[in-house]
Structure 1
């Protein structure tokens, strides 16, 4: 029976129209290729511009980055943990969905192509290349996403049209006797029912804030950028820029995704498992294709290629950051501990090889994510974060704000919290959430406790463990917590007596393969070694082929000869002082930014 209402109906798409209907045209391919070449040029330019032949230059961009590329910086300076593998693998899968479908390439072929471009300037340039290309790609992403937002709202009649048509966007093949595939009544609300909703408001307010605190305040990917800033004010400026950009995702990502359901309900909102499998190869649902579907169907030629570049930019930006940060942690914290006398050349090589290993792990993890994310990639990301990140965040907070926290308390807090989180993670992999039309026979621990509530439970268990163990064990000395907590950050600097300059000479002799000697004999022995090895050094240099030299240059390893001794490390000057005018300006922006966030939360609550 036809409805007599005159309200606009969303356009209907062909039932089994295999995603996507449109692909990239020659004009789009040209835009995409030009973008790739431009990004590679920027990345390789940064490898020449910046100092990358030292550990600090490669992993911290020489500690001389200005504030404007630090678009993804955070408000606090610290780091502690390494669960970045999952994030890298998730980003890889998300990008592969778009690339596979738009170019009709095999999933793994698309991934290998992306990794080849990403790895070139990450391995070659270090953090400097990552930051400069991130700054470029942020601009590209903003332009493309804002353009698509304009097209999306124009297609549905603005915000009012979105609110009206969204609840009418139903798949034509949906069973009338089933609630599967229906839009949620609270779709436009942030705070939802605490018991029956998909995102209960206590979990959003508290449970989600804990993993968020971990990511923005302790994750190496973010913190490494603040450590590369020139000073504290530059780091704050980058954090504020990131905070302003964080206002945009609601408008450039969430709302366009809802528009995609309105325009293509049979694909994006499919409810029948068999039809969903034919559309997007996932019987659980096809909500993951909402954004790329919108790009390929709505935008004209040229702009479609630009948005393809935007999607690839988002993927490459995340991957380069993750690869460089993971390499930093492995090289400086693990390898340096196993081989404390390792030379800078060895550390540089190890860091780059580890990036290549991460590339391999990322590819191998794709099928796991594809099988377990259940049609909603965001849910997969948040649930994994809620199981692994709260213990680290709690230990970090306790260490910063309670001077009584000690090593044993932190250790047992992490052990108890991570073991509990891993148990829930394994149960989630074993007992997959059933589809809408199937009974839920999962254990109570998995079925009844939302992952955001589990995040709160995990945080409480970790907090109790850290507090109890720290209280009943020996407290750390004042020297151990000096400058390492909020209350001791301004402690006076105690100058430690430095040994004579034998350490640099010892390192040089070690690199030359010579035996150890006393401090005085080291100086004399080095002088003899220098004079005797000049001819030998000249004989060895021509034997390096051009290919070997090119590889060494690409890795930032320069043969400086034996006549140059490693320079004595300059004393590190750490200052928390800020220009009063700049500090006031930053504080005002902080208050304004927080006010904007509170307003948006209140408006959509």
Structure 2
């Protein structure tokens, strides 16, 4: 398939990576050290545009791009729900969670939960964060990146994963993490421009917008599908996605961090609104290329190669290399950031906080490096395990894995914010036993009794909803019957004087809601 690659493509890839490493040296020598809020939250100086682009950029990476084209190829628009339905949960972040987070003046969400339920919950959340970073940000990205590199270099997945980890480690040694952070905005803009160009060139080659519309089955343009649809029935989307949506958009540190760094609540709420507007672009930029690929290259055996097929067949030599270089560099950026987060949380929240409070700076740095190496090895194992999941394409693999991570966190944050009587014991049991139950169910669904072979399983999104309901009932019962005063007196948060959203915030959100309802009406008449 990739015999059409020219030597110039590999030269462009190598040159791009060398430039990024060079930037790494330059940035690491000139950048001043910083600590505390300035380091983590930009000194509470972020405006709405920075917040919007940061949240969207964190969400829209190469792995999502490759996976979205894959699901576009096989099922069409229905995967757009994962981008467009998100506006409700970004709205929830803006009007419910953001005022409470900013009012509590916290650096991290485990810190917020510590103020709500006590230090025991904060410690458990640190471990939960490690697990989610390891699975959702590191292993899945490594898996998607491994697929990409294996397509480019014709390597087995394990070899491709090793190549990516080696490049990520080399960047870190060369000071490249700061460099990639420095160039991330540029890379995201380049990715968007490339995807837009790919969509336009593909649509023109397919005969124009009308020809594309008429060339695929009518259901390809439907966002909501019948209950008997084998891929994404409307009930699975309607009930299951909210569990993932609350976790991802309202409680995940990586996604919420830029809102925590807002210069004011209003800027944070407008920034979240801007993110939701940007999410509209996901469908034309990332899913539509997959639909166009289905029209142009219907003989394609593996939908996961849809994006790279479009790139290699529609772009000239050199341009193909540039696309690959940007994809690889952005993947390395995500892997590096995930390794850095993993190392930071374990070292500071567990090692220093619990194991060795008097650790020297040298010991802290050494532990951070050890955790980075161990995290890399675990992530390699996880990514190869993900490769053994049968019967699902790349997008479905992503969403199914995330749907089993989400329920415990969604339950604890929703109960913690909306029900004052929720106790520490309930939160801790949901985060420990509930997480084991949820992830254990996922292991049964994906590996032990895979859904591709055993047809007694409901859709993975419905399964996520059922787990959420079970854990919610447990949280209610434990809290209701918990008579231990110690578990009821942990809350030091006061939500009585929350700042209400301004009229400007409500106007922009109202406009967005009108647009989103219109899109759902338009894309369900086929």
Pair in the same fold by TM > 0.5: yes
CA contact (8 A) 1:72 1:238 kept: no
What is the CA distance between 1:353 and its match in structure 2?
3.3
1:164 aligns with 2:214: yes
Name the SS for the 1:372 alignment partner: coil
Q: CA deviation at 1:61?
A: 6.5
Are the aligned partners of 2:405 and 2:438 in contact in 1 as well (CA < 8 Å)? Answer: yes
Normalising by structure 2, what TM-score? 0.76
**Which deviates more from structure 2 when the two are superposed, residues 339-348 or residues 318-327?**
339-348
The counterpart of 1:261, out of the listed 283, 294, 303, is: 294
2:479 aligned with 1:466, yes or no? no
Residues 1:604 and 2:512 are matched in the alignment:
no
Tell me the alpha carbon deviations over residues 460-514 of structure 1, each in whole angstroms, 9 at most, x when there is no partner: 111111111112224679973233x6x3465xxxxxxxxxxxxxxxxxxxxxxxx
SS in 2 for 1:193: coil
Distance of aligned partners of 1:469 and 1:46 in 2 relative to their CA distance in 1, 3 Å threshold: farther
Please say if 1:431 is aligned against 2:431: no
Cα-to-partner distance string for 1:42-78 (whole Å, 9 max, x where unaligned): 44444345444757676x2764664555433374453
Instruction: State the distance in 1 between where 2:318 and 2:297 align.
Output: 22
Offset from partner CA, 1:421-445 (integer Å, 9 cap, x none): 23422322022344xxxxx5x263x
C-alpha separation in 1, matches of 2:443 and 2:298:
34
Superposed displacement of residue 296, structure 1: 0.9
Instruction: Kindly indicate whether residue 334 of structure 2 is the aligned counterpart of residue 318 of structure 1.
Output: yes
- Report what 2:255 is aligned to: 222
CA RMSD of aligned residues (A): 3.2
In structure 1, stretches of 5+ residues that fail to align are 1-18, 168-184, 271-285, 435-439, 491-575
Residues 244 and 120 from structure 1, CA distance in 2 versus in 1: closer, same or farther, beyond 3 angstroms?
farther
Where 2:444 maps in the other structure, the secondary structure is helix
**Is residue 425 of structure 2 the alignment partner of residue 408 of structure 1?**
yes
Deviation at 1:215, TM superposition (A): 1.4
Counterparts of residues 194-209 of structure 1 (less than 5 Å): 194-209=227-242
CA contact (8 A) 2:21 2:179 kept: no
Displacement of 1:288: 0.8
CA shift, 1:114, in A, is 3.0
Q: Is the 8 A contact 2:41 2:257 kept in 1?
A: no
Closer, same or farther: CA 206–39 of 1 in aligned 2, 3 Å: farther
Is structure 2 residue 410 aligned with structure 1 residue 393?
Answer: yes
Match of 1:84 among 133, 145, 148: 133
CA contact 1:52–1:125 (8 Å) conserved in 2: no
Checking the alignment, whether the CA contact within 8 Å between 2:244 and 2:407 is kept in structure 1 is: yes
Give 1:315 shift.
Answer: 1.8
**Count of aligned residue pairs for this structure pair:** 451
* Separation (CA, whole Å) in 2 of partners of 1:41 and 1:242: 32
Higher helix share: 2
Q: Contact between 1:386 and 1:455, CA under 8 Å: does it hold in 2?
A: yes
Q: CA deviation at 1:418?
A: 2.4
Deviation (angstroms), 1:155: 1.5
Q: Greater CA radius of gyration, 1 or 2? A: 1
Q: What is the CA-CA distance between 1:294 and the residue it aligns to? A: 1.0
Structure 2 equivalent of residue 569 of structure 1: none
SS at match of 1:22: coil
Corresponding residue for residue 303 of structure 2: 287
| 2:491 paired with 1:481 | yes
RCO higher in structure (CA 8 A, sep ≥6): 2
Taking the aligned partners of 1:296 and 1:377, their CA distance within structure 2 comes to 20
TM-score (norm 1): 0.67
- Residue equivalent to 1:72: 54
Q: Distance in 2 between matches of 1:51 and 1:235?
A: 27
Counterpart position of 2:84: none
Give 1:314 deviation, angstroms. Answer: 4.1
1:47 correspondence with 2:28: yes
Q: 1:47 to 1:601 in 2, by over 3 A?
A: farther
Deviates more, 1:412-421 or 1:152-161: 412-421
Post-superposition CA distance 1:355-387 (Å, at most 9, x none)? 232222222333212221535011111112222
The residue number in structure 1 matching 2:58 is none
After superposition, residues 164-563 of structure 1 pair within 5 angstroms as 164-167=214-217, 186-228=219-261, 232=265, 235-236=268-269, 238-267=271-300, 270=301, 286-336=302-352, 337-428=354-445, 429-434=447-452, 440=453, 442=454, 444=456, 446=457, 449-473=458-482, 474=484, 480-483=490-493, 487-488=495-496, 490=498
**Contact map agreement 1:96 1:107 (CA 8 A) in 2:** yes
